[in-house]
A and B are shown apart, each in its own frame.
Chain A
Amino acid sequence: MNSLKARLTIGAVLASLAVVALCGGLLYGLVEDDLEDEFDRNLLERARAQTALVEFDEEGLQFEWEHSPQIIKAGALPKYFQVRDLKGNLLAHSKDWPDKQADIPRIDHADEDNEDGDVRIDGKPARAVALRFTPKLDDEAGQQPPTLLLVVAERTKSVDETLARFRMLLGLAALVGVAFSVLLLRLILWRELKPLEQLAGKIAAVDESSLGREIAIERAPTELKPVVAQLNALLARVDDTLRREQEFTAGAAHELRTPLAGIRGKLEVALSRERTPEQHREFAQSCLDISVQMQAIVENLLTLARSGNSTDAPEPVDLREALRAAWKPFAERADQRGVQVDWEFGGEGMLNTRRNALHVIATNLFENAANYVNEGGRIEISAEAGPDGLRLEVANTGCTLDPNQVERVFEPFWRADEVRTGGQAHAGLGLAICRRLAKAAGGEITVQVIKDRFVATLTLRV
């Protein structure tokens, strides 16, 4: 599961469990050590006290408790004790601990007189202290007293019970602590991640009509602010694109109205009164011409719609060949009109570029020049390819455009001069398409009017 909340929760649970385990373990260890140490100390003290009851005189070892039963009765002696010699022989023991084989602690170090350890008494866990001592010497002893070992033991039941209770309490506290911290974490997460949910909700609510409105979330955390800002920027871009497309579609529909009005007009005139067959033929021909023109408009519109996302990839193109091929359809008519065409090529012959885009742009620029050039005028085509790209300049004489109005040539459907186009079905979309295509291919088209020359320049960066 890929949930942030789940992952954070699991992480927190594991972390707090680890912390609790560590602390709890440490605490438990300390307490356990403490209790054991106290137990052992207590045992040692009692052992030491008991060694005072052992004497050595001329008759040998004297255990005072054997002579004075009231000591045992008073409970002054430990319940479990044994006295051994250094060879391990059992010299005396308490009633309850006759076990000769008892596993008593060994005193390893010479400078230590005692050692503690775990023993088992009647199969139950106990703790024992072994104390090396020398019995009190009676003046009349005559020889040195033997070194003896007093082992005192006690069952660890109460300590074990205490520790068990402590373990349980620690465990409970840990559980409660972890549960509480998980709940707290979930609460905090729920609260702090609310802005994310809010954002998701607002994004889901965005539709075409609300693209223009900015998304805002209350008390947005710093981390979300850049996301929201970028989202709003994206929405603005999408809104802008959508609006431009809508405007273009509306504009295109509008422009189709003009040829439609033309057809309608012709037909209404044809039918308004008695006409001769010859007149009807003329009307029919006019309608046909206009229909063909509308077809060209529609084709151009489709090209323009498609040009936005060009799937044409860069490939090596022979510049001369491509440009001459694009000019070919216009060559004959230009020739007939006495137009002189000058070509100039510079730089590399081959260029890495989008073939289709170049072809469409060049064709449109040439068509424009061929349509607007004056009879007997001149068209200059100069192309220069270099490492950073292509520069194509197409100029024609016979331009009567106002230099200040020159940018209007990019307006879809704007025609500079209907009279001069000779009714050719180019529909005024050419330069709008060119600019779109050029931009999509990473370049641009600029136009200028210098005296009577119209100059269109395409720069394509590679």
Chain B
Amino acid sequence: MRVLVVEDYKPLRESLVQVLSEEGFAVDHSGDGTEGLWYALGNPYDVVVLDLMLPGIDGIQILQQMRAKSIGSHVLILTARDAVSDRVKGLDAGADDYLVKPFAMSELLSRIRALVRRGYGRKDPLIRISDLELDTATRSVTRAGKIIELTAREYALLEYLAMRAGQVVSRAEIWEHVYDFHSDATSNVVDVYIGYLRKKLDSGKRKLIHTRRGQGYCLQEGT
């Protein structure tokens, strides 16, 4: 999943980017409001972690412009302002969640995961397709009860496919949701990673990752 972090306080921004990356998210970041808005309008982020007091234009304005342009990314406001009026203002402007600094990283991650689930219309953190089970909270994958070890990138790819299980997902969409600007990858890396996944998941078992010629991939039981 792809996350945008807009936070002007450098130490915090660095920590957020590091934690999210290590958790397997594709992360873009900015310390400036104007730049942050440009990112938000130009890419389909699953979650935008947005600070309110930013140089350039402030968080509320970014949020308003995003909603006005029907950008569907879920927004989690991260700020030191904790008054009820501030929360109400933020949520009424179109935010999906609100977290006050200082906060526990673990809580931030849980909330982001919740927003991701919401984005894909899922309530259950556990995704089951046939005998494949993904625990999105712990990022563990089992097939037929056996744990499957995946790299962070592999898991990210699988999770995206699983969230959209039953739908055809194009390479471009995978590219946009599983990779960030800092990836050195090229677009055929998607095919390469699909290959890795198939080897770990599907070999010797009923096929779950299907190819749709000219359209993309689809994760489901059966064809």
Contact: A262 with B11, CB < 8 Å?
A: yes
CA distance A417 to B15 in the complex (A): 20
CB of B103 within 8 A of CB of A261, answer yes
Selected contact of A418 from candidates B8, B16, B19, B103, CB within 8 Å: B8
Q: Does B32 contact A (CB under 8 A)?
A: yes
Chain A residues near B80 (CB-CB < 8 A): 254-255, 257-258, 261
Given contacts A260-B101, A417-B55, contact A268 B9 (CB under 8 A): no
**Bound complex: CA A257 to CA B79 (Å):** 9
B31's contact among A266, A273, A290, A418, by CB below 8 Å, is which?
A: A418
The answer, yes or no, to whether A221 is at the interface (CB within 8 Å) is: no
* Interface set, chain A 273-330, CB cutoff 8 A to B: 273, 286, 289-290
CA separation between A273 and B10, bound complex, in Å? 22
Q: Chain A: interface residue count, which band?
A: 20 to 34
Does B89 count as interface, using CB distance less than 8 angstroms? no
We find that the number of chain B residues with CB closer than 8 angstroms to chain A is: 25
Bound-complex Cα distance A416 to B102 (A): 22
Known: A254-B80, A414-B53, A419-B31. A265 touches B11 (CB 8 A): yes
Quick one: which of A254, A265, A414, A417 contacts B16, CB cutoff 8 A? A265
- Docked Cα-Cα span, A289 to B81, in Å, equals 23
A436 to B15, CA, bound (A): 36
Contact indicator A266/B15 (Cβ below 8 Å): yes
| CB proximity of B85 to chain A, nearest CB, Å | 13
Mark out the residues of chain B between 73 and 102 whose CB falls within 8 Å of any chain A CB in the assembled complex: 80-82, 100-102
Q: Does A26 contact B (CB under 8 A)?
A: no
Chain B residues closer than 8 Å to A415, beta-carbon distance: 8, 55
- Interface residue? B223 (CB, 8 A): no
Contact indicator per residue, chain A 59-94, by CB within 8 Å of chain B (1) or not (0): 000000000000000000000000000000000000
Say whether A269 contacts B19, CB under 8 Å.
yes
CA distance A416 to B32 in the complex (A): 10
Q: Mark B99-130, 1 if CB is under 8 A from A, else 0.
A: 01111111000000000000000000000000
CB-CB under 8 A from A272, the residues of chain B are 19, 22, 105
How far does the alpha carbon of A257 sit from the alpha carbon of B102 in the complex, in Å?
6
Q: Is the CB of B81 within 8 A of A254?
A: yes
How many pairs of A and B residues are in contact by the CB < 8 Å rule?
A: 72
The reply to whether the CB of B18 lies closer than 8 angstroms to some CB of chain A is yes
Asked whether any CB of chain A lies closer than 8 Å to the CB of B12, the reply is yes
A376 at the interface (CB under 8 A from B): no
CB distance from B56 to the nearest CB of A (A): 8
**B18 is contacted by which of A264, A269, A416, A418 (Cβ under 8 Å)?**
A269
The answer to whether A418 and B55 touch across the interface, beta carbons within 8 angstroms, is: yes
Q: Is A98 an interface residue (CB 8 A)?
A: no
Determine whether the beta carbon of B9 is less than 8 Å from that of A258: yes
Check B32–A264 contact: CB distance below 8 A. Answer: no
Instruction: Select which of A254, A257, A286 is within 8 A of B11 by beta carbon.
Output: A286
- Do the beta carbons of B31 and A262 come within 8 Å of each other? no
B12 neighbours in A (Cβ, 8 Å): 258, 261-262, 265
Bound together, the chains give a CA A273 to CA B9 distance in angstroms of 24
A249 to B106, CA, bound (A): 30
Residues of B within 8 A of A273 (CB): 22
Binary contact track A406-440/B, C-beta < 8 Å → 1, others 0: 00000000111111000100000000000000000
A246 to chain B, nearest CB (A): 13
A261 vs B19: C-alpha distance in the bound complex, in angstroms? 14
Roughly how many angstroms separate A290 CA and B101 CA in the complex, as a whole number? 15
A contact residues around B82 at 8 Å (CB): 254
Q: What CA separation (Å) do A418 and B104 show in the bound complex?
A: 24
A250 and chain B: residue at smallest CB distance = B83
30 contacts between A and B (CB under 8 A): A254-B81, A254-B82, A257-B102, A258-B101, A259-B9, A259-B11, A260-B101, A260-B102, A261-B103, A262-B9, A262-B11, A262-B12, A262-B15, A264-B104, A266-B15, A268-B19, A268-B104, A269-B18, A272-B19, A272-B22, A272-B105, A286-B11, A290-B11, A415-B8, A415-B55, A417-B55, A418-B32, A418-B55, A419-B32, A423-B10
Binding site for A on B (CB under 8 A): 8-12, 14-16, 18-19, 22, 31-32, 53, 55, 80-82, 100-106
- A-B pairs with lowest CB-CB distance, top 7: A265-B15, A261-B101, A262-B11, A261-B102, A257-B80, A268-B105, A254-B80
13 more A-B residue pairs beyond the given contacts A261-B101, A262-B12, A269-B105, with a C-beta to C-beta distance below 8 A: A257-B102, A258-B12, A261-B80, A262-B15, A264-B104, A265-B19, A265-B102, A268-B105, A269-B15, A269-B19, A290-B11, A414-B53, A415-B55
- Name A's B-contacting residues (CB within 8 A): 254-255, 257-266, 268-269, 272-273, 286, 289-290, 414-419, 423
